[in-house]
């Protein structure tokens, strides 16, 4: 439990998978929650994700490239979480400029809005472990070099650096949390372009076959969404300011093991 009583919390991308679960937790802990989301189909946003808390939150249907609307949303907030992203790796290669807008330019828009109009707000930004690319050593840590293999991961990598530069240069209270393969309720389960383990769950729920390519021995880290939300709330602590954290599960599993367990459960 985190003490968010009467705190003003803005969740950018709050209609998506992680954002909607975070919004629910913040409401339960007494926060006054505002959601800012443009329902981009490549970000997984869905109004049904907040059906049970719709009356408890304020919602703005705007884009992070819309500076005027973004500033209006940011002014007066105590805590700002950036869960907004175009999350498809294949889409980022097909449409690199659109990915750049969502995952890099949009982040600068958020940072500039905070710097100019709400510099003292706590800001927590979501990164991804795919920023690392192929591992040079294992287990990886926050000091692992980054050689991203697609535009999504590259733009998430550079936007993380923006967040840290603003923290250091302007004394802003920024933190980055990188996640791997988050699964759980309110995830997009209809397309392989979103997190693979949630897609596996979607196939299993429809009694469809799960295809595993190659040997299936590729190792992946998977973490339940409630644990991801807990990590984001821990990142609000003052000793996290200006830092990047890898937030992952203790165990790793092969893709084939995840597929087999998914079939067993669902």
For 10-42, what is each residue's pLDDT tens digit?
999 999 999 999 999 999 999 999 999 999 887
Compute the distance between CA of residue 80 and CA of residue 34 in angstroms, rounded to an integer: 10
pTM: 0.96
Task: Look at the alpha carbons of 206, 207, 213, 216 in this order and tell me if their dihedral is positive or negative.
Answer: positive
Q: What is the DSSP letter of 238?
A: G
Residue 76 backbone class (left: φ over 0; alpha: ψ -120 to 50; beta: rest): left
d(CA 137, CA 208): 36
Is 222 in a helix, a strand, or coil? strand
Strands of the chain, DSSP E: 8-12, 32-36, 58-60, 79-82, 122-128, 173-179, 181-183, 219-224, 244-246, 252-254
User: What is the rounded distance in angstroms from the CA atom of residue 126 to the CA atom of residue 28?
Assistant: 21
Taken in order of first residue, the domains within the chain and their CATH numbers are 8-187+223-251 (3.40.50.720)
* CA dist 88 → 60, 73, 265 (Å): 23, 26, 26
Residues in the chain: 266
pLDDT one digit per residue (tens) for the chain, 266 residues: 578 999 999 999 999 999 999 999 999 999 999 999 999 887 889 999 999 999 999 999 999 999 999 999 999 999 999 999 999 999 999 999 999 999 999 999 999 999 999 999 999 999 999 999 999 998 999 999 999 999 999 999 999 999 999 999 999 999 999 999 999 999 999 888 889 999 999 999 999 999 998 899 999 999 999 999 999 999 999 999 999 999 999 899 999 999 999 999 98
């Amino acid at each position: 439990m985190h003490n968010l009583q009467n705190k003003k919390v803005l969740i950018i991308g709050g209609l998506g998978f992680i954002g909607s679960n975070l919004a629910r937790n913040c409401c339960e802990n007494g926060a006054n929650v505002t959601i800012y989301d443009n329902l981009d189909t490549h970000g997984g946003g869905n109004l049904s994700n907040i059906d049970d808390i719709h009356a408890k939150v304020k919602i703005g249907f705007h884009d992070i490239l819309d500076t005027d609307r973004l500033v209006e949303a940011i002014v007066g907030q105590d805590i700002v979480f950036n869960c907004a992203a175009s999350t498809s790796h294949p889409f980022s290669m097909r449409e690199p400029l659109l990915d750049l807008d969502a995952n890099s330019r949009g982040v600068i828009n958020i940072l500039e809005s905070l710097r100019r109009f709400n510099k003292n707000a706590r800001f927590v930004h979501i990164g991804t472990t795919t920023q690392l690319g192929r591992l040079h050593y294992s287990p990886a840590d926050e000091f692992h070099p980054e050689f991203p293999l697609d535009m999504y991961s590259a733009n998430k990598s550079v936007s993380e650096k923006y967040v840290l530069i603003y923290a250091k240069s302007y004394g802003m209270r920024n933190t980055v949390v990188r996640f791997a393969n988050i699964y759980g309720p309110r995830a997009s389960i209809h397309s392989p372009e979103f997190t693979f383990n949630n897609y596996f769950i979607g196939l299993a729920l429809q009694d469809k076959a799960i295809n595993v390519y190659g040997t299936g021995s590729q190792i992946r880290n998977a973490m339940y969404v409630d644990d991801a939300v807990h990590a984001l709330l821990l990142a609000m602590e003052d000793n996290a300011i200006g830092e990047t954290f890898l937030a992952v599960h203790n165990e790793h599993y092969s893709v084939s093991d995840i597929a087999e367990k998914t079939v067993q459960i669902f």
